[in-house]
Amino acid sequence: MRMKYLLVGIVWMAAAFFGANALAANISTIEAGGPDTLVTLDSNPVITSILSQPGTFGARTYLDWSFLVQDSTGSIDIYGTPVLNGYTPKIGDAITLFGTNSPSRFAPYNQIPEIVAADVVRVSSGNPVAPTVATIPQLSQTTLPFSIAGYDIELQNVLISCGPATFSSANTSYTIRDAANDSMTLLFSPATYSTDGAMVGNTVPTGLVDIFGIDSVSGTGGSATAQFIPIAITAAPEPGAVSVLAASGALLALGLRKRR
């Protein structure tokens, strides 16, 4: 587990002295900036996914928050301790925050752009969110573009294989494959994310699934490997069921037109 709470405390104290000089910006501006830069993300980004939260899940204890926020210019991971000005992150909340951009001692963590937050304030709640639907070829890159890195991603209709039949408390690599036989590594990562910790002990699905998660890259140079980290796994809708729903909708629409 990454232990950043000490750094967050330092950033929070620094805010009292240097907050006025922090860069006020949207996500794309922050991503283009250098590491260890004090930033104020004031574009009211919306929380799209909770990756980790304090508590005990799957026999592991987690100390920190990790969640994704998105505005009209990009998406980025926010990392922090429970000392987020007393704020509890919730999907659909729009926020502003102060922190430091991608600290050089950690970042970007596996090419995931990140802000270590010192202070978070909710602006509004109940905002609509939706994952970015991507394909394995788009995700299986060893240099992640900002259009993928840090986003809440949905992979549809893939099979999980080449690993234990049950999710364990240790980080475990699987293979995911789509209908076109494209494949990449699925990294089940309970050592870092409480959402994976909550899946420990669950049976690994053997049928087609939709996987929600984040893209990352482990290693550098010739040893770099793209890894998709699951946050949630659901059974993929059966093609027949989708066809029936589509046909039902068409018949309903036809009936309404006839009655009119």
pLDDT for 83 equals 55
Name the 3-class secondary structure at 176: strand
**What is this structure's pTM?**
0.83
Are 15 and 83 within one domain? yes
Supply the range of the domain harboring residue 187: 132-241
Tokens of 126: 């109940």
Are 88 and 151 within one domain? no
Q: Which residues contact 60 (CB under 8 A, 6 or more apart)?
A: 1, 169, 190, 191, 194, 197, 200
Helices (H), 71-147: 136-139
Q: Flag whether 12 is in a domain.
A: yes
d(CA 108, CA 220): 12
Amino acid letter, residue 31 = E
Q: Divide the 260 residues of the chain into consecutive groups of 10 and give the mean pLDDT of each group.
A: 42 43 79 90 97 94 95 95 78 95 72 92 96 97 94 98 96 97 98 97 97 94 92 87 42 42
Which residues pair with residue 97 across a beta bridge?
41, 120
d(CA 98, CA 176): 37
Element (H, E) at 139: helix 136-139
Q: Flag whether 260 is in a domain.
A: no
pLDDT for 178 equals 97
Tokens of 22: 């922090």
pLDDT for 103 equals 75
The answer to whether residues 97 and 78 touch, using CB atoms and an 8 Å cutoff, is yes
Are 119 and 152 within one domain? no
Are 116 and 9 within one domain? yes
Of 222, 232, 164, 241, nearest in space to 199 by CA: 232
Number of independent structural domains in the chain: 2
Tokens of 197: 């910790």
The DSSP 8-state label assigned to residue 109 in this structure reads: B
Are 146 and 109 within one domain? no
Q: Flag whether 202 is in a domain.
A: yes
Are 201 and 104 within one domain? no
End-of-domain residue from the set 124, 144, 164: 124
Are 137 and 60 within one domain? no
d(CA 112, CA 215): 8
Tokens of 102: 């991608």
Are 10 and 120 within one domain? yes
Q: Flag whether 254 is in a domain.
A: no
Q: Flag whether 98 is in a domain.
A: yes
- Vertex 91, ends 46 and 15: CA angle to 5°? 55
Are 12 and 113 within one domain? yes
The DSSP 8-state label assigned to residue 68 in this structure reads: E
Q: How far apart are the first and last CA of the chain?
A: 61
Q: Flag whether 36 is in a domain.
A: yes
pLDDT for 22 equals 55
pLDDT for 106 equals 56
End-of-domain residue from the set 82, 100, 124: 124
The answer to whether residues 105 and 35 touch, using CB atoms and an 8 Å cutoff, is no
Are 114 and 218 within one domain? no
Q: Are strands 46-52 and 65-71 parallel, antiparallel or unpaired?
A: antiparallel
Are 111 and 163 within one domain? no
Are 223 and 118 within one domain? no
End-of-domain residue from the set 124, 147, 169: 124
